[in-house]
Structure 1
Amino acid sequence: MKELTTPVQFEDIKDLKAGDVVNISGKIITARDQAHKRLIEKGKDEIPCNLKGAVIFHAGPIITKDDNSGFKMIAIGPTTSMRMNPYEKEVIEMGVKVIIGKGGMDEIVAKSLKSEGAIYLVAVGGCAALYVDSIKEIDKVNWLDLGMPEALWELNVENFGPLIVAMDSHGNSLFNK
Structure 2
Amino acid sequence: MSKLHELTLPLSESQVRELRVGDMVTLTGAVTVSIGIPTHKRMAEAVRKGEPLPVDLNGGAFFHLSTYVREQDGVSVPLYLNPSTSTRYNAWMPDLVRGLGLRLVGGKGGLDDASVAALRECGCAYLSFLGGGLPLLSRALRGVRSSHWNEYISQFRLLTLDVSELGPCTVAIDAHGGSIYDNLRDRAQGRMPEILERMRLARQAT
TM-score (norm 2): 0.82
C-alpha deviation, 1:64, in angstroms = 2.2
Shift of 1:161: 0.5
Structure 2 counterpart of 1:39: 43
Q: How many pairs does the alignment contain?
A: 176
Q: Distance in 2 between matches of 1:35 and 1:4?
A: 27
Amino acid at match of 2:133: C
Amino acid in the other structure paired with 2:12: Q
Report the CA distance between 1:2 and its aligned residue: 0.3
Structure 2 Cα separation of the partners of residues 68 and 147 of structure 1: 18
Comparing 138-147 with 111-120, greater Cα deviation is found at 138-147
Which is bigger in relative contact order (C-alpha 8 A, separation at least 6)? 1
Q: Which amino acid aligns with 1:61?
A: T
By how many angstroms is 1:111 displaced?
0.6
Which is helix-richer, 1 or 2? 2
Unaligned runs of 5+ in 1: none
Report deviation, 1:67.
2.5
Write the deviation string for residues 110-166 of structure 1: whole angstroms up to 9, x where unpaired: 111000010000000111122121111111101111211100111111111010000
Please provide the CA RMSD for this pair: 1.2
| 1:105 has 2:108 as partner | no
Q: Percent identity?
A: 28
CA distance in 1, matches of 2:40, 2:90: 10
Larger proportion of strand? 1
Aligned position for 1:13? 16
Is 1:89 equivalent to 2:85 in the alignment? no
The Cα offsets for residues 78-131 of structure 1, whole Å up to 9 and x where unpaired, read as 100001100000100121110020112100011110000100000001111221
Cα distance between partner residues in 2 of 1:97 and 1:12: 9
Corresponding residue for residue 157 of structure 1: 163
Q: TM-score of the superposition, structure 1-length normalised?
A: 0.95
2: CA distance, partners of 1:34 / 1:61: 16
Describe the SS at the equivalent of 2:92. Answer: helix
Long gaps (5+) in structure 2:
184-206
Which deviates more from structure 2 when the two are superposed, residues 41-50 or residues 123-132?
41-50
